């Protein structure tokens, strides 16, 4: 009997993500890992207590497919406070197994073979493979190479009758750019008359700095009816390993989203949903999150300013990018490997966020770390010489 041959890959050009590669290299060389975006500090003890209480109360079986009703109600209340626009918890909010699952599910629900999906580059590395799995064609529109702000003339030129979805991300990973109200208005103007939907990745919505306000897609009266907004409890509550997020969308979009959701994950961890719902009833942790991370940004950036690295602006998220051209002309992937193995600090090359990277010497650091971790990294980085 002939053994089966290797399967034909659905993602032939995809290997292990750069985040896993750099984390493994950091572990091997005992480097400070400022590459992969996760906190190295604990969440609020009250959140852990709330999950334990949910387990003890017997909330350990399947919840409703769309999510625990109380948690969806809490999200609706938060949306009303944050955006002045609520959502129907029964028909417009769905709990997901993190934001990455939400993005894939949204694309599988909306995109048909041959449809075009616009992404703004640089972009998070899951977008491209998810579009391919849905049978879509990726259309890449570059952000401004200096400011990383959207170029709406380029976006308008990329729109065709085949455009099914435009994916936007603000606050933006990897660059830290936060869209302003005028940019949401410009997106609405671009899409006026188009049949395209918007998938808005807003997982860093509560990390905006220097007195900026997050003005997401759900706040916009013209965009909200044609959009799916994605957020993440993992990012907001320092529990990335829980993989719990949510999607907010108009009822018709939500119905299509849930058709796919029920067959790729069905539902999401029950006690954690109840724990999150209980925690959200207390004083609102997310309202102090911007100040919390701005202090970390300022501390880390003040230290980086004492090195030959040249900082790029960081308006939000917990990432900051830097140029290293004063140190080396090597590729960003080579420089990150050297930085990890020889200096002892892991970062992510910005080329990982492009299909065809431009010539650049830019890397991304994560500052969602304890002060001691950041100081350890800074002590090592201060040994860099031009």
The CATH number of domain 18-37+287-381, selected from 2.30.30.30, 3.30.70.330, 3.65.10.10, 3.90.1150.10: 3.90.1150.10
CA dist., res. 311 & res. 299, Å (int): 13
Counting every residue written for the chain, the total comes to 386
Q: Mean pLDDT score of the chain, rounded to an integer?
A: 95
Q: Which residue has the higher pLDDT, 351 or 15?
A: 351
109 and 257 in contact (C-beta within 8 Å)? yes
SS3 104: helix
Mean pLDDT of the region 32-59: 96
pLDDT at 329 over 70: yes
- Write down the domain spans for the chain: 18-37+287-381, 45-282
pLDDT in tens, 77-98: 999 999 989 899 999 999 999 9
pLDDT at 251 over 90: yes
- Residue 283's pLDDT is 73
69 and 381 in contact (C-beta within 8 Å)? no
Please choose, from the candidates 382, 370, 320, the residue with its C-alpha nearest in 3D space to the C-alpha of residue 35. 320
Least confident of 157-171, 205-219, 281-295: 281-295
pLDDT at 44 over 70: yes
What residues have CB less than 8 Å from 121, skipping those under 6 apart? 140, 141, 142, 143, 353, 354, 355
CA dist., res. 42 & res. 319, Å (int): 19
- Residue 184's pLDDT is 98
Pairing of strands 163-169, 345-346: unpaired
- Residue 234's pLDDT is 96
pLDDT in tens, 52-82: 999 999 999 999 999 999 999 999 999 999 9
- Residue 173's pLDDT is 97
- Residue 2's pLDDT is 64
- Residue 1's pLDDT is 58
The token duo for 46 is 């009250």
- Residue 3's pLDDT is 66
The pTM assigned to this predicted structure is 0.96
DSSP string, 302-363: HHHTTSS-EEPP--BSSEEEEE-TTT--S-HHHHHHHIIIIISEE-EEGGGG-SSPPS--EE
Q: How confident is the model at residue 8 (pLDDT cuts 50, 70, 90)?
A: confident
- Residue 18's pLDDT is 86
Overall fold of domain 45-282: 3.40.640
pLDDT at 127 over 90: yes
């Amino acid at each position: 009997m002939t053994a089966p041959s290797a399967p034909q890959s659905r993602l032939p050009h995809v290997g292990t993500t750069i985040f896993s590669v750099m984390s493994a290299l950091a572990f091997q060389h005992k480097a400070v890992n400022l590459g992969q975006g996760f906190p190295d500090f604990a969440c609020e003890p009250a959140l852990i207590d709330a999950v334990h209480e949910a387990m003890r109360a017997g909330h350990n079986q399947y919840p409703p497919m769309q999510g625990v009703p109380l948690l969806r109600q809490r999200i609706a209340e938060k949306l009303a406070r944050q955006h002045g626009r609520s959502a129907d918890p029964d028909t417009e909010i769905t709990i997901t197994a993190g934001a990455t699952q939400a993005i894939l599910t949204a694309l599988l629900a909306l995109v048909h073979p041959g449809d075009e999906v616009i992404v703004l580059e640089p972009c998070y590395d899951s977008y491209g493979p998810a579009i391919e799995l849905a049978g879509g064609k990726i259309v890449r529109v570059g952000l401004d190479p200096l400011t990383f702000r959207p170029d709406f003339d380029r976006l308008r030129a990329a729109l065709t009758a085949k455009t099914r979805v435009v994916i936007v991300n603000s606050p933006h990973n990897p660059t830290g750019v936060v869209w302003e109200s005028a940019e949401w208005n410009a997106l609405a103007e671009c899409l006026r008359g188009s049949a395209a939907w918007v998938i808005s990745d807003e997982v860093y919505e509560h990390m905006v700095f220097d007195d900026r306000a997050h003005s997401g897609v759900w706040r916009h009266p013209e965009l909200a009816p044609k959009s799916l907004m994605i957020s993440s409890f993992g990012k907001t509550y320092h529990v990335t390993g829980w993989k719990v997020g949510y999607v907010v969308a108009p009822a018709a979009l939500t119905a299509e989203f849930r058709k796919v959701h029920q067959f790729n994950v069905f539902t999401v961890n029950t006690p954690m949903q109840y724990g999150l719902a209980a925690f959200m009833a207390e004083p609102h942790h997310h309202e102090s999150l911007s100040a919390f991370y701005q202090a970390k940004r300022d501390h880390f950036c003040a230290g980086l300013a004492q090195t030959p690295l040249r900082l790029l602006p960081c308006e939000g998220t917990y990432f900051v990018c830097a140029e290293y051209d004063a140190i080396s002309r090597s590729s960003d992937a080579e420089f990150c490997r050297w930085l990890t193995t020889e200096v002892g600090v892991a970062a992510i090359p910005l080329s990982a966020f492009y299909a065809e990277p431009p010539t650049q010497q830019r890397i991304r650091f994560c500052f969602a770390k304890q002060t001691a971790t950041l100081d350890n990294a800074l002590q090592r980085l201060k040994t860099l010489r031009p």
